[in-house]
Structure 1
Amino acid sequence: MQVESIAKALGDESRRKIVELLKDGELPASTIFEQFNYAAPTISRHLSVLKEAGLVSTRRNGVFIYYSLEKEALHVIQNWLAPLLGSAIEKPKSAPRERSQKPKIKTESNPFEKFQSEF
């Protein structure tokens, strides 16, 4: 499992969706196919790319194939990103809000008062 192959596999939106579907546990191929409007061979190809990258594993039960997420591959990406992100992943700060500015009240003052206090 190398970072490059994992990143390349996750570069496709459909494959990321498959990974998200598998985050809660193992699913049969038929359930994964139902989530897409693509032909089965297209989804099969996406699944094989994920498998080649080490992101998913398969288990056969009779004629059914079950796919599960290999979280170790996700740890490879996490370990690679950790030094780049620092010790804690910070949430992006939201844009600063504009403060409503109250009109400044001008106080009338005698410009000579400052100097008169010195004498």
Structure 2
Amino acid sequence: MQVESIAKALGDESRRKIVELLKDGELPASTIFEQFNYAAPTISRHLSVLKEAGIVNTRRNGVFIYYSLEKQALEVIYNWLAPLLGIAAEKPKATPKERSSKPKVKVETNPFEKFQSEF
């Protein structure tokens, strides 16, 4: 993901509105189309530009296409702008490592051993 392609994709007001719609989570294409007074092919083109820039992801469920934000693309822009604005850029978070725990060995005892020793 390059800053240029992301910035170019976000340069259009309609595409910025789509990004704002997706900030709260995944939406089907039909819901996005309803928010505009443009023809569906126009919005489809805007969604394609956002997808090509890596700003949105798609997921197909049957005949429906769902769109969601790819936050890593927005982080690229943020990290580029942060030094210019005097903000410390966020460092990528390390993924938590799994603890290697040894499986507990269960010692099997015969419940009748206790009684056998009494006889």
TM-score bracket, shorter-length normalisation: 0.7 to 0.9
1:1-119 correspondence runs (5 A):
1-87=1-87
- Code of the residue aligned with 1:82 in structure 2: it is A
Counterpart-to-counterpart distance in 1, 2:86 and 2:3: 19
Counterpart-to-counterpart distance in 1, 2:64 and 2:87: 43
Q: TM-score, normalised by structure 1?
A: 0.73
C-alpha root-mean-square deviation of aligned residues, in Å?
Answer: 0.8
Q: Which runs of 4+ in 1 moved over 3 A?
A: none
Gaps of 5+ in 1: 89-119
Counterpart-to-counterpart distance in 1, 2:68 and 2:44: 14
Counterpart-to-counterpart distance in 2, 1:82 and 1:11: 19
Offset of residue 87 of structure 1: 2.9
- Code of the residue aligned with 1:7 in structure 2: it is A
Offset of residue 36 of structure 1: 0.2
- Code of the residue aligned with 2:12 in structure 1: it is D
Larger Rg: 1
